[in-house]
Chain A
Amino acid sequence: MSDQGYRPAGQPGRAEAGRGAGPAGPPSLDQNFDAGSLYALRAAVAAHAAAAGLSPQRVYDVVVTAHELAANSVVHGPGHGRLRLWAGDGFLYCQVSDDGPAEPEPAVTGNAAETGNAAGAGDAAGAGMPWHAEHGHGLWVVGQVADKVSVDHGRAGTTVTASFGITPC
Chain B
Amino acid sequence: MTADASTQVTELTADDHACLTFGEAEELFDLTAAFVRDGLAAGLKVMWLSDAGPGIAVKELTRRGIAVEPAMAAGQLAADGCEGRLLSGQAFSADAAVGWLSGQVAASREQGFRGLRIAVDMGWALRPVTGVEELPRFEEGIAAALAGTTASVLCQYDRERFDPVTLASVAGFHTRSVAAATYYADAVLRICRQYAPPGVRIAGELDYQAEEPLARALAEAVRLEGDLVVNMEGLAFIDARCTLMIADAARTMAASARMVTLRCPPEVASGFVRLGMAGVPGVRLVTADE
| A contact set with B: CB distance below 8 Å | 35, 38-39, 42, 56-57, 60-61, 63-64, 67-68, 71, 75, 131, 134, 137-138, 140-141, 144
Contacts and interface: CB of A to CB of B under 8 A. Distances in A.
B241 interface: yes
A68 B239 contact: yes
Contacts of B239: 64, 67-68, 71, 138
B208 interface: yes
Interface in B243-290: 244, 247, 266-267, 270-271, 274-276
A138 B266 CA distance: 19
A129 B183 CA distance: 31
Contacts, number: 44
Tell me if B's interface is mostly helix, strand, loop or mixed.
Answer: helix
A137 B243 CA distance: 10
B181 to A, nearest CB: 24
A60 B207 CA distance: 14
Interface residues of B, number: 18
B188 interface: yes
Nearest to B209: A35
12 contacts: A35-B209, A60-B267, A60-B270, A63-B237, A67-B239, A68-B239, A68-B240, A131-B276, A134-B241, A137-B240, A137-B241, A138-B239
B205 interface: yes
Contacts of B271: 64, 141
Nearest to B276: A131
A71 B270 contact: no
